[in-house]
Structure 1
Amino acid sequence: MTHTFARNLNILFVYMICTPLIGAYAVQFIQGEFPCPLCLLQRLAMIGIACGALANVRYGIRPRHYGMCIVSAMFGAAVSIRQITLHIVPAPGNEGYGTPVLGIHLYTWALLIFGATILILGMLFLFNSKQFYTKDNPKNLTPLSVSRLGVIAFWLAFGITAANACTTFLERGYRKMPFMAPMRETIAAAVLMEMKYDGSRPLVVPMCGSGTIAIEAALMAKQRAPGLLRSNYTCNHWLNADKDAWSQQRADAKKLLKKNDPAPIIASDIEEEAIEATRKNAVTAGVDHLIDFH
């Protein structure tokens, strides 16, 4: 195998790795299925594989570049196996989590991809180690000229990496402006529940940060059901999903909303940025009129 041919194979490999990533994004944005932390780690592992292949394209074929691909694939396989074991004995009526593609869930597809990557690269090391010692393979890490297909592969991998980074910002709910060390919404709600807060007593939140406690207090005081701010859920796209029942449940939840405003909720902080973040997050949650900002 010549050095040029090996580099072209790496370009093809990048396209092959990017294909399931693009498919995962399609499922995410079309089906409204946001990835879990394990899914994000699997995407990160695939990006690591692509980076190793791109390093071969740019700097020449190197064992360390293939090593990066193998380590990334092993990490991704471990994460995939972990996710499969979590769902290997599903609850009654639930055959797995997430939308299946061709009858197989995405985390299972990911494991197959990681396994194939390890197998293919292992075969290359075993039967074609001479590719590292060809005359046209520079000994030093000198940038090489890249074909047009290679340039497209670089930009494709870069775009997918950027999209993966942006994905996390789509899962913040009403917290469009998180301040330093933001509290999880569930923890804030648990604190308020432990206080037996129901909106009948005034609530002062000093050092409000991004306003999570104050906003959750306003939502609880109005008896707004969790999840009403989100309109698209994965279960709505299941084949056996009863959309009428789902719509009825949402309508019933909206009827429980209290019309009267709760006792004063005061959010204060010494940092102006925190107050501004709290105000904008409260606007997103639709409770800015229930909170006094100081």
Structure 2
Amino acid sequence: MTVDGRAPVPDVEPGAAVSRVRLDIRYDGAGFAGWAAQRGQRTVAGEVGLALSRLFPGATGLTVAGRTDTGVHATGQVAHVDVPVEEWERHADRVLWRLRGILPPDIRVTAATVVTSRFSARFSALWRRYEYRVSDTEWGVSPLRRHDTLAWTRPLDMAAMNRAATVLLGERDFAAFCKRREGATTIRALHRLTWSRGEDGILVATVVADAFCHSMVRSLVGAMLAVGDGRRDVEWLAGLLRRTDRSGEVVVAPAHGLTLAEVAYPRDPAEWGTRSDETRRMRTLPDAVPDSGGSGAAV
């Protein structure tokens, strides 16, 4: 089997009892308490897991690239699941049709592809791309986009926000912008952070990193919005990078403006396992105290 123009991937690895299946997923996050399954809460993982269990009763190990928070959307989420070979072969030709009939309308699986067991939706990822939409027009947000666009009540200086974004690029400790989790590092490599304004006047922040820690993207956006409307300056933003703990000065932007747009992986399947090993290694900055824990992907 060929995966999106990449090198051929076998339908079933020799001697394997299960087929590992990559799932490409889109969802409207408004009705979910985030991705991760939680007792008594409606979650994306809960709905996807339920659908998979109905179609493939023996499916196990549902793993996601980015554990999005409550209200965050996705157009490019990726997950993997292990399905018994005989169950996969029974439904392989109509997987998307069957999932379409089982899943609720605010979730769609757009592709289901067999990959090798070395593929990990979480650890094999090279980078994740998020987009955050903001409207600073006098009249607000188009009614059809109110669920994925933040209405800002002050004019925003896009040039000022782009200047501010440059001080955040590179591998840094983003402790000031993250909700720290026990045993997890807040060091991340931020590859891209840019703002653009479309013909409709909507500002879109494009944020790309190898991984993100909890609330990081929305915290970065919240800080830059404060610069964009003139309440803060670039020096203040740069100073936050010297913090070693969460900053109370940073307001986390609302969840509904954020969308996980893309997760990228090595094109050669032979590199998936190598990338997973690299991601799992402990990461520190020069002269930093070692911190255990791999790269998280929650936002």
Q: Same fold by TM-score, threshold 0.5 exceeded? A: no
Q: Which has the higher helix share?
A: 1
Q: Which has the higher strand share?
A: 2
Higher RCO, 1 vs 2 (CA within 8 Å, ≥6 residues apart): 2
Band the TM-score falls in, shorter-chain normalisation: under 0.3
Name which one, 1 or 2, has greater alpha-carbon Rg. Answer: 1
